[in-house]
Structure 1
């Protein structure tokens, strides 16, 4: 994983590609099945817009996007397109954040969380490719996460958590995802409902630590998940802040209170669901629980440290109005 020092030293995308014209790199997960030939679409629009033939690099089981993103940076391309699921997008972004590189995405996965938040077509790869070349450019925040005080940080773009939410990601059946899509997460969520809360210590923006007995703690950079549910109401991807959510269902009907407050967009006094806004946060658990970053399971841990890095990633998104719950200043 890149350290902050290596991120700052990484090359930008503006080196001469040899012809004086622009060039894109397509980083694609080859196991994602789609009815659209994404490589052909990228080549077609490159030709239509006067770009050089794109650099095409496939991810592998051993390298889901990190090495490919570094290869694209070294090639000096002007645009890096991540075509795959949330894992591919996150790995590519982890390498590009903190550089001058311009990123776009073509969602080919099950969750496609960042694409859903940015109004990128999750069921039309052709439209996503066109937006990658011809959309508008914004600069967004990324959140750095250190797990169990590791030396190197990971990043996430949408949300990360420890506890129940991560157990869902870890326990979702791949065969069921292939059959029913994102509803496979519902199956895993139901199976993981039973469980005991864990004593958790939380510190927000370096303030005095406080304790809770929790099933889950999540940090959000933007708010929408599958099915259009907004679990971080009003979270913006470019405001320099992270939204922290704690989940603590109480009693037999506790999860109903959690769901009710989610649909009420966090309003009300029920402590089963609490929100905090911050730039940094530190979470310490008495016992190890599952961790996830943008849906990627990372195993179990007892400590997570979050830090928002404002304006860290140049990102292409479709032209047109953007929900003010996603970006601070929507374009007309």
Structure 2
């Protein structure tokens, strides 16, 4: 395992830990409503057999439990690898249970956004390739970010990004029927419909420093940078550097969103206050009125307070072999 300090640069480690003579086993946690032409369970069973592993434990998510209880069941069974097959919600819920346990996680993206998979070069349109990478890919340890909403006792985690305001309104207002028809472009439809609105008074504190105020449409925390369509909204963000990128959106006037878009496409360069970035280990965001909240695309309802804390090197994750984008991991593989 790499040094857990934020300054450490994690190297690739052996894909399969030494378990002596004990037979290894994977668990497949799968969202049964995600339609795919590939038999994901069959692929996991096939590669398990080829690798000399036991027959996998297969657990389906439910409407009432999108992954938490299933991940805990897999941990209780003592499996060596947990594969989350579903959308971003399934991946996040499984990761929330596995973070800090030392148990390996992999993912087979079957959703619309597939945010983490896009950042890690995991095939979003080839479940067979994703299953292959789950067993035979490279292991990394990545950061997770813990988020407390409205000072709740229990924290959630996110792997890619979370936010309050405009971005969360998009997620809560995206039409499921449109996602089935046009995929991630359904988020564009929701984004256009939610462009009108007024900024909210927001107080922000970064790394426990002196708080400052802004009038904002959105505040987002990013663990890595890419979203649908290949757009990188957190330029240079790395998923294993022990840091989070905080972004604020403050479009002004009728052409304000054009200024935001322009700064996004220039990777955040310039001094336009419509889009600001802060890099930190912790952050606290307080609003004077409740706005929508989202974690990795999952809407959580409305809130007025979010507290972020990065937990470095918390999750062991399997990803494809080969060169990695330097904006994703701190040290690319050759």
Into which bin does the TM-score normalised by the smaller protein fall? over 0.9
Distance 1:128 1:39 in 2: 12
Q: Indicate the SS of the match to 1:99.
A: coil
**Which of 59, 62, 65 is the matching residue for 1:60?**
62
Distance 1:234 1:320 in 2: 20
Q: Indicate the SS of the match to 2:284.
A: strand
Distance 2:98 2:80 in 1: 12
Distance 1:329 1:193 in 2: 38
**Which of 162, 167, 176 is the matching residue for 1:165?**
167
Match of 1:179 in 2: 181
**2:148 paired with 1:155:** no
Distance 1:106 1:53 in 2: 18
Distance 2:177 2:59 in 1: 26
Task: Give per-residue Cα distances to partners, 1:199-227, cap 9 Å, x unaligned.
Answer: 00000000000000000000000000000
Match of 1:191 in 2: 193
Task: Give per-residue Cα distances to partners, 1:112-158, cap 9 Å, x unaligned.
Answer: 00000000000000000000000000000000000000000000000
Match of 1:123 in 2: 125
Q: CA deviation at 1:20?
A: 2.4
Distance 1:102 1:113 in 2: 19
Distance 2:229 2:194 in 1: 19
Q: CA deviation at 1:37?
A: 0.5
Distance 1:229 1:36 in 2: 28
**Which of 17, 30, 33 is the matching residue for 2:35?**
33
**Which of 120, 126, 138 is the matching residue for 1:136?**
138
User: How many correspondences in the alignment?
Assistant: 319
Distance 2:94 2:33 in 1: 17
Q: CA deviation at 1:100?
A: 1.1
Match of 1:316 in 2: 318
Match of 2:237 in 1: 235
Task: Give per-residue Cα distances to partners, 1:264-320, cap 9 Å, x unaligned.
Answer: 000011110000000000000000000000000000000000000000000000000
Q: CA deviation at 1:244?
A: 0.1
Match of 2:298 in 1: 296
Match of 2:331 in 1: 329
**Which of 200, 223, 226 is the matching residue for 2:225?**
223
Match of 1:69 in 2: 71
Match of 2:6 in 1: none
Match of 1:91 in 2: 93
Q: CA deviation at 1:168?
A: 0.1
Match of 1:245 in 2: 247
**2:96 paired with 1:107:** no
* 1:6-45 paired onto structure 2 within 5 Å: 20-45=22-47
Q: Indicate the SS of the match to 1:56.
A: strand
**Which of 261, 265, 271 is the matching residue for 2:263?**
261
Match of 1:200 in 2: 202
Q: CA deviation at 1:238?
A: 0.2
